């Protein structure tokens, strides 16, 4: 065999798996169809979206909150070309970091489309049709996902766009219609809302960010309406989208059966992502997919074919970069004969709006459905001195704990810097801390993190000090 492990796909799942394999002394190849490593996350996902979220937040603050801080600015303008250019530079630097890591770990990077010839033979087809074939003992499929397409929404990638095009627009939309009130819709809707676009969101379910605790969606709805004037059309299903010159017309029907027609200049389709296995030749290796087209894996991320594993967005579970990374490490260590473990219940989820939304563990709805007895404690940021100082008083922290044992079962936050704050909840829950444990730990004052301590105090015996 030429390689102990071949990883197909260089996203956060694939490149991390390759690094861990190399660290464990396995001879490793990484196959990526694009010349730019890093997958969706680095090129058209996590990193560029956060770059634009940060830039747009600066603009929003400069035009809306600076005055109250006593900072007077005149003639503020958005230079979208510069903003997108900075984002590209951030991506370029981050991707260069992955090139460096591959060299440092002596991983053979092969550029081209990877496919199975048989279960131990991989073919890489380069852009000019150049082919290379080699033998591998193990393969890790990490080919990720792509934006989901709906048959009644013809995406022209100019006006009817996915997140990929939304990261490269040449002008700020006057009226952006977002189809799907999930994570992408809220994040990229916020970017353009902050830069001055009117944003209308059409969501099929009765709330936005539906996978998260209902209280978070409710608060985010309130804040986005107040802060950016989001027009949220909930319980409304899109029935058709049509481009008319520089306009886009979205037709939809709400739960009362009323027909709506919304006209904008751009329409972002963010209704989820689909696993990407096209051109991989899974059938040649005999690898099975499940009913949703994902590579079918068992609890050890093994496919039905010995020596072939799959990780990240192309398999079941949350479509998150850090979930893909954990799985990459898990499989590398499994191949090396170790016995790793992932606690899927403790993979946090974050929405990078402002206020940020972050959560880990069970939601209140899940606990009720499970019939598990729990108690709940909340603390609003308006009662936090730190939040008042920075004028970030929207949101709260909610802690759910077992009624008998007081073990923390879920933490749900919306507020300033909760994307970073959620890490404390993950650590506490990994160590199976009780709400009282956290409530008795000193949290620096004044910090946003005191809100978690206070919510734990509230959950313990209704002992919050500042509400």
Q: Which residues are catalytic?
A: 445
Q: How wide is the angle at C-alpha 379 spanned by C-alphas 378 and 380, nearest 5°? A: 125
Asked if residue 205 binds ligand NAI (CB under 6 A), the reply is yes
Sign of CA dihedral 319, 364, 390, 465: negative
Alpha-carbon distance of 20 to 18, in angstroms, equals 6
Residue 182 labeled ligand binder: yes
Among 110, 194, 273, 386, binds ligand NAI (CB under 6 A): 273
Alpha-carbon distance of 332 to 320, in angstroms, equals 19
Characterise 195 by phi-psi region: left (phi > 0), alpha (psi -120 to 50), beta (else): alpha
**Shortest gap between Cβ of 59 and ligand NAI (angstroms)?**
20
Among 23, 242, 247, 272, binds ligand NAI (CB under 6 A): 272
**Shortest gap between Cβ of 132 and ligand FAD (angstroms)?**
12
Asked if residue 187 binds ligand NAI (CB under 6 A), the reply is yes
Which among 278, 354, 332 is positioned nearest to 26, based on CA atoms? 332
Residue 313 labeled ligand binder: yes
Among 17, 238, 335, 455, binds ligand NAI (CB under 6 A): 238
Sign of CA dihedral 292, 237, 239, 196: negative
In sequence order, the 6+-apart residues with CB closer than 8 A to the CB of 223 are 355, 394, 395, 414
Q: Give 31 or 248: the residue with its C-beta nearer to ligand FAD.
A: 31
Among 66, 204, 227, 364, binds ligand NAI (CB under 6 A): 204
**Shortest gap between Cβ of 351 and ligand FAD (angstroms)?**
8
Asked if residue 113 binds ligand NAI (CB under 6 A), the reply is no
Among 240, 279, 286, 385, binds ligand FAD (CB under 6 A): 279
Angle 183-194/46-64 helices, nearest 10 degrees?
40
Number of H helices, E strands in the chain: 14, 22
Among 351, 397, 451, 457, binds ligand NAI (CB under 6 A): 351
Q: Which does 9 bind (CB under 5 to 8 A by kind): ligand NAI, ligand FAD, none?
A: ligand FAD
Residue 186 labeled ligand binder: yes
Among 237, 316, 443, 463, binds ligand NAI (CB under 6 A): 237
What are the distances in angstroms from CA 215 to CA 359, 373, 397, 398, 453? Answer: 11, 18, 10, 9, 19
Sign of CA dihedral 286, 291, 295, 301: negative
Q: Which two tokens stand for residue 465?
A: 């000090």
Q: Which does 189 bind (CB under 5 to 8 A by kind): ligand FAD, ligand NAI, none?
A: none
Which among 331, 349, 294, 346 is positioned nearest to 316, based on CA atoms? 294
**Shortest gap between Cβ of 447 and ligand FAD (angstroms)?**
23
Which among 455, 453, 403, 409 is positioned nearest to 433, based on CA atoms? 409
Site residues (CB under 6 A) for ligand FAD, limited to 395-434: none
- Please choose, out of 5-13, 196-204, 242-250, 277-285, the segment that lies near ligand NAI by the rule CB under 6 A: 196-204
Using CB under 6 A, count the residues that bind ligand NAI. Answer: 26
Please, are residues 442 and 433 in contact by the beta-carbon 8 Å criterion?
no
Which among 360, 341, 327 is positioned nearest to 12, based on CA atoms? 327
The 3-state DSSP class for residue 441 equals coil
Q: Give 162 or 449: the residue with its C-beta nearer to ligand FAD.
A: 162
Asked if residue 280 binds ligand FAD (CB under 6 A), the reply is yes
Q: Which does 34 bind (CB under 5 to 8 A by kind): ligand FAD, ligand NAI, none?
A: ligand FAD
Please, are residues 186 and 351 in contact by the beta-carbon 8 Å criterion?
yes
Please, are residues 19 and 100 in contact by the beta-carbon 8 Å criterion?
no
- Which residue is associated with the tokens 């296995």? 277
Residue 203 labeled ligand binder: yes
Site residues (CB under 6 A) for ligand FAD, limited to 17-46: 31-34, 39-41, 45-46
Residue 19 labeled ligand binder: no
Residues making up the annotated binding site are: 50, 114, 143-145, 180-187, 203, 272, 313, 319-322
**Residues that bind ligand FAD in the complex, under the rule CB under 6 A:** 8-14, 31-34, 39-41, 45-46, 49, 113-115, 142-145, 163, 184, 276, 279-280, 312-313, 319-322, 324, 352
**Residues that bind ligand NAI in the complex, under the rule CB under 6 A:** 150, 179-185, 187, 202-205, 210, 237-238, 270-273, 318-320, 350-352
Residues making up the annotated binding site for FAD are: 50, 114, 143-145, 313, 319-322
């Amino acid at each position: 065999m030429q390689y102990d492990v071949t990883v197909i796909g260089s996203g956060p799942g694939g490149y991390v798996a390759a690094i861990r394999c190399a660290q464990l002394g396995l001879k490793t190849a990484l196959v990526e169809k694009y010349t730019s490593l890093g997958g969706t996350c680095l090129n058209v996902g996590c990193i560029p979206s956060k770059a634009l979220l940060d830039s747009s937040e600066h603009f929003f603050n400069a035009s809306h909150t600076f005055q109250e801080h006593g900072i007077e600015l005149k003639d503020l303008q958005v230079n979208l070309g510069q903003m997108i250019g900075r984002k590209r530079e951030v991506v370029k630097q981050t991707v260069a970091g992955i090139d460096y890591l591959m060299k440092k770990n002596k991983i053979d990077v092969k550029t081209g489309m990877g496919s199975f010839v048989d279960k131990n033979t991989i073919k890489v087809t380069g852009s000019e049709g150049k082919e290379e074939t080699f033998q591998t003992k193990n393969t890790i499929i990490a080919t990720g996902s792509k934006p989901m397409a709906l048959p009644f929404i013809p995406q022209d990638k100019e006006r009817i766009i996915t997140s990929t095009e939304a990261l490269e627009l040449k002008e700020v939309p006057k009226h952006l219609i977002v189809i799907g009130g999930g994570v992408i819709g809220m994040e990229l809707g916020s970017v353009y809302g902050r830069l001055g676009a009117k944003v209308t969101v059409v969501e099929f379910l009765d709330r936005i960010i539906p996978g998260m605790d209902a209280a978070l969606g409710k608060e985010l709805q309130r804040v986005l309406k107040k802060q950016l004037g989001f027009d949220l059309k909930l319980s409304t299903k899109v029935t058709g989208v049509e481009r008319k010159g520089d306009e886009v017309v979205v037709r939809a029907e709400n739960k009362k059966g009323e027909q709506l027609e919304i006209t904008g200049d751009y329409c972002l389709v963010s209704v989820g992502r689909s696993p990407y296995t096209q051109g991989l030749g899974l059938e040649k290796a005999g690898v099975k997919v499940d009913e949703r087209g994902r590579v079918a894996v068992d609890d050890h991320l093994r496919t039905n074919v010995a020596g072939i594993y799959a990780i990240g967005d192309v398999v079941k579970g949350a479509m998150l970069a850090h979930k893909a990374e954990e799985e990459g490490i898990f499989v590398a260590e499994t191949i090396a004969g170790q016995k790793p473990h992932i606690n899927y219940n403790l993979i946090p989820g974050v929405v990078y709006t402002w206020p940020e939304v972050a959560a880990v563990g069970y939601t209140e709805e899940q606990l009720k459905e499970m019939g598990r007895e729990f108690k709940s404690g909340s603390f609003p940021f308006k009662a936090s001195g730190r939040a008042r100082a920075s004028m970030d008083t929207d949101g709260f922290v909610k802690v759910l704990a077992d009624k008998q044992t007081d073990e923390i079962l879920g933490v749900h936050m919306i507020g300033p810097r909760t994307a970073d704050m959620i890490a404390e909840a993950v650590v506490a829950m990994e160590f199976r801390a009780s709400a009282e444990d956290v409530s008795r730990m000193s949290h620096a004052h004044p910090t946003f993190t005191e809100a978690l301590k206070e919510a734990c105090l509230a959950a313990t015996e209704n002992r919050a000090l500042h509400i």
